[in-house]
């Protein structure tokens, strides 16, 4: 099959979902442009900062949610089960589950003065539910920070040409933020200056690759990245996070444009089989495909972004659909591109002239990032050339992994302060320096181990967070006497799927004597059971009222 036809089909369906199903979500949540948002009512210059324009907030939001997940997930899943089941899950999941989840969590937070989804759980369910959910989120975010620190450090070692663009972007972002917020320079002018500097960094990185050239260089980069995450977590949001994520979005847009336009000219056929197998060493198609492709269809991490930082920066409710629902739809577009890059850009079998381009051989080595970069480079070759295309792919991937790393650390700081400081009354945890240090130490401990073993449980825990977040917003909608079918049915499906995946993984961890991850998996399952029980109690009370 022609890959261009597959791309057109996927993009049209996703666009229709945004236009029509997104409008249903706006009606469900009674969007009112005249209602003041928490960012306006509670401006403090640190966390509550109304974005100057919705595009800046979209940049932060999308860059934060579009980490490695929507790229790595399809790269792994397509090789195991084929491109058709993966594409179906990406499209249907983004429209009916992921978009609903992200939008509802944003509005649920806004209706509760910008509080995190954990605090929303307290308002709609109980204090016990808040504490259970907060601990669940805390554990899940430790996994997120660990995985993305490891992924980023691996890319820096594998591709030294992206070192300068990766770290240079931080300083360009600070400059852009100063131009927009402090020096009051026109946003378009400031953006153009930032993009020109970013292009310069890309050229410098291409000409002057930086390799540490020492044993254990991956761990050195990991320490540097975790140190950066610490600093970014405690710095005012409009200094680093907002402008860096805003500029990172342009990197993604350029990557999407080069990828899809390149596909228009190259339009290779789909080399990977439509369906490979039902059962594999990674498990059966259900439930495992649905947790391996996490961020490309639905992701619990998005609930933390929507309720953690985005709700504190949204200046007007009318922009919620564009930012939250639109962000998830665009992530579906990105996941579809990643799928096409490996399913059409690479070959399924070897042969003359196919050296280094055979999908099963590349993925077998566990180098998911290089696999995507090679495939993207081939489909974008008509525009970028055979050597520059993979570099663009790596820079695009790394810029988003970095945003997930720093935003994930910041959100977990909020949760740490709420859980241990406000909840358990351990005052030292209300200190943002101490709480951030605890997060970095815990994540670093996991990241320095076998991080690839963390990815499956990261996916399952991530989806379980999504299921519980949908449970929280469902109880709120129920209390407000609003229709709950849009959130409860997706929530049940994701809950059953991820519970099955976690049980399967825990058994595997025990067999392989990976007891730390087995214990984490069991804890996550127990917390999920108690959260569902709390939701049931609330529903029964509301029925009797």
What is the tens place of the pLDDT at every residue in 132-182? 778 878 888 888 888 888 888 888 888 898 899 989 988 998 898 888 888
Q: Does the pLDDT value for residue 545 go beyond 60?
A: no
The top-scoring range by mean pLDDT among 88-92, 111-115, 120-124, 279-283 is 88-92
Q: Residue 399 and residue 68: Cα distance in Å, rounded?
A: 9
Question: How do residues 321-330 score in pLDDT, each as one tens digit?
Answer: 999 999 999 9
pTM of the model as a whole: 0.87
Q: Residue-wise over 47-74: b if at least 16 C-beta within 10 A, else e?
A: bbbbbeebebbbbbbbbbbbbbbbbbbb
∠ CA(461), CA(455), CA(311), 5° rounding?
50
Whole-Å CA distances, 452 to 107, 143, 346, 392, 446: 34, 11, 23, 24, 11
Predicted confidence at residue 543, as pLDDT, reads 67
User: What distance, in Å, lies between the first and last C-alpha atoms of the chain?
Assistant: 57
Which is more confident, 150 or 340? 340
Please give the structure tokens belonging to residue 453.
């073993």
Residue pair 427/413 in contact by the 8 Å Cβ criterion: no
Q: Does the pLDDT value for residue 467 go beyond 80?
A: yes
The total of other beta-carbon atoms located within 10 Å of residue 364's CB is: 11
Q: Does the pLDDT value for residue 451 go beyond 70?
A: no
Mention the CATH class of domain 3-544. Answer: mainly alpha
Residue 339 pLDDT level (bands cut at 50, 70, 90): very high
Task: Name the least confident of 78-92, 100-114, 437-451.
Answer: 437-451
Q: Please, what is the angle between helix 381-416 and helix 54-65, to 10°?
A: 90
Q: Residue 434 and residue 417: Cα distance in Å, rounded?
A: 10
Q: Does the pLDDT value for residue 366 go beyond 70?
A: no
Q: Residue 377 and residue 545: Cα distance in Å, rounded?
A: 60
HSE-CB for 293 with a 13 A CA cutoff? 35
Nearest C-alpha neighbor of 149 from the set 62, 233, 229, 251: 229
Q: Where are the domains of the chain?
A: 3-544
Residue 452 pLDDT level (bands cut at 50, 70, 90): low
Residue 74 pLDDT level (bands cut at 50, 70, 90): very high
By three-state DSSP, how is residue 229 classified? helix
């Amino acid at each position: 099959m022609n890959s261009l036809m597959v791309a057109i089909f996927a993009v049209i369906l996703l666009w229709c979902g945004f236009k029509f199903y997104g409008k249903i979500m706006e009606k469900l949540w009674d969007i009112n442009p005249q209602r003041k948002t928490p960012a306006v009512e509670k401006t403090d210059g640190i966390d509550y900062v109304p974005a100057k324009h919705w595009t800046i907030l979209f940049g932060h939001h999308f860059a934060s949610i579009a980490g490695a997940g929507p790229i790595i997930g399809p790269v792994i899943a397509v090789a195991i089960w084929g491109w058709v089941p993966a594409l179906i899950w990406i499209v249907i999941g983004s429209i009916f589950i992921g978009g609903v989840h992200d939008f509802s969590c944003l509005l649920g937070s806004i209706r509760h003065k910008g509080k995190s989804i954990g605090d929303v759980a307290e308002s709609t369910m109980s204090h016990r539910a808040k504490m259970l959910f907060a601990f669940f989120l805390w554990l899940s975010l430790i996994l997120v920070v660990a995985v993305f620190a490891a992924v980023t450090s691996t890319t820096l070692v594998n591709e030294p040409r992206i070192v300068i663009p990766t770290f240079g972007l931080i300083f360009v972002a600070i400059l852009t933020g100063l131009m927009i917020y402090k020096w009051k320079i026109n946003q378009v002018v400031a953006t153009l200056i930032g993009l020109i500097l970013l292009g310069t960094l890309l050229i410098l990185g291409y000409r002057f690759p930086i390799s540490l050239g020492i044993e254990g260089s991956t761990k050195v980069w990991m320490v540097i990245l975790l140190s950066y995450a610490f600093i970014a977590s405690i710095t005012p949001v409009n200094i680093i996070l907002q402008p860096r994520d805003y500029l990172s979005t342009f990197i993604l847009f350029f990557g999407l444009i080069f990828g899809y336009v390149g596909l228009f000219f190259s339009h290779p056929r789909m080399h990977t089989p439509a369906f490979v197998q039902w059962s594999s060493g990674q498990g059966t198609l259900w439930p495992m495909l649905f947790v391996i492709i996490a961020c490309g269809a639905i992701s619990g991490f998005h609930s933390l972004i929507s309720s953690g930082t985005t709700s504190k920066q949204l200046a007007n409710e009318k922009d919620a659909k564009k930012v939250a629902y639109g962000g998830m739809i665009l992530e579906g577009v990105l996941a579809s591109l990643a799928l096409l890059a490996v399913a059409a850009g690479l070959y399924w079998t070897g042969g003359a002239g196919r050296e280094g381009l055979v999908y099963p051989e590349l993925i077998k080595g566990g180098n998911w990032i290089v696999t995507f970069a090679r495939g993207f480079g081939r489909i974008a070759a008509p525009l970028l050339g055979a050597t520059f295309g993979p570099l663009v792919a790596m820079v695009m991937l790394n810029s988003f992994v970095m945003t997930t790393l720093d935003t994930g650390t910041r959100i977990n700081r909020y949760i740490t302060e709420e859980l241990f400081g406000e909840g358990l009354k351990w005052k030292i945890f209300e200190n943002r320096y101490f709480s951030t240090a605890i997060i970095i130490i815990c994540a670093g401990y996991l990241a320095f181990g076998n991080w690839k073993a963390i990815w499956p449980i990261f996916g399952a825990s991530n989806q379980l967070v999504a299921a519980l977040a949908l449970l929280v917003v469902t109880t709120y909608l129920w209390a407000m006497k609003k229709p709950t079918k849009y959130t409860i049915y997706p929530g049940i499906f994701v809950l059953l799927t991820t519970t099955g995946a976690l049980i399967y993984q825990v058994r595997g961890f025990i067999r392989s004597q990976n007891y730390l991850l087995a214990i984490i998996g069991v804890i996550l399952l127990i917390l999920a059971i108690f959260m569902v029980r709390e939701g049931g109690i609330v529903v029964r009370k509301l029925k009797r009222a």
